[in-house]
Amino acid sequence: MLSTFLKRNVSVVAATKPLINYQARFASTEAGRLLALNELSPMEGSTRKRRRWGRGTGSGRGKMCGYGHQKSRSTPFGFEGGQTPLYKRLPKIGFKNHTHRDLLGVNLSTIQEYVALGKLVPKQNDMITMRDLVRAGVTTNPQDGIKLLGQGAEKFNVSIHLEVTQASRTAIEAVEKAGGTVTCVHFNKLAMRALLKPHKFEILPWRARPIPTIMQYYLDKDNSGYMSPEIQIRNAKLFGHVTSEAKYRAEHEAFMTYIRSLKKEGKKFPVRPTRLIVN
β 181-184/161-164 pair status: parallel
* Assessment of whether the complete model's pTM goes beyond 0.95: no
Q: Greater confidence, 27 or 54? A: 54
Neighbours of 275 (CB within 10 A): 11
Which letter, b or e, does each residue of 147-160 get, where b requires 16 or more Cβ atoms within 10 Å of its Cβ?
bbbbebbeebebeb
* For the chain, the helix, strand and coil percentages under 3-state DSSP, each to the nearest 5: 40, 10, 55
- Strand, coil or helix: 1: coil
Phi, psi for 134 (deg, rounded to 5):
-70, -45
The alpha-carbon radius of gyration of the chain (Å, integer) is: 40
Give the pLDDT of residue 61.
Answer: 87
Residue partners of 252: CB distance under 8 A and separation at least 6: 198, 201, 204, 276
Give the pLDDT of residue 220.
Answer: 94
pLDDT tens-digit series, residues 163-191? 999 999 999 999 999 999 999 999 999 99
In the chain, the DSSP E strands lie at 104-107, 146-149, 161-164, 166-167, 181-184
Using the predicted structure, report yes or no on whether residue 12 has a pLDDT greater than 50: no
Using the predicted structure, report yes or no on whether residue 237 has a pLDDT greater than 70: yes
Give the pLDDT of residue 151.
Answer: 93
Beta-bridge partner residues of 107? 149
- Strand, coil or helix: 228: coil
Using the predicted structure, report yes or no on whether residue 231 has a pLDDT greater than 90: yes
Cβ–Cβ under 8 Å, residues 163 and 238: no
Give the pLDDT of residue 178.
Answer: 92
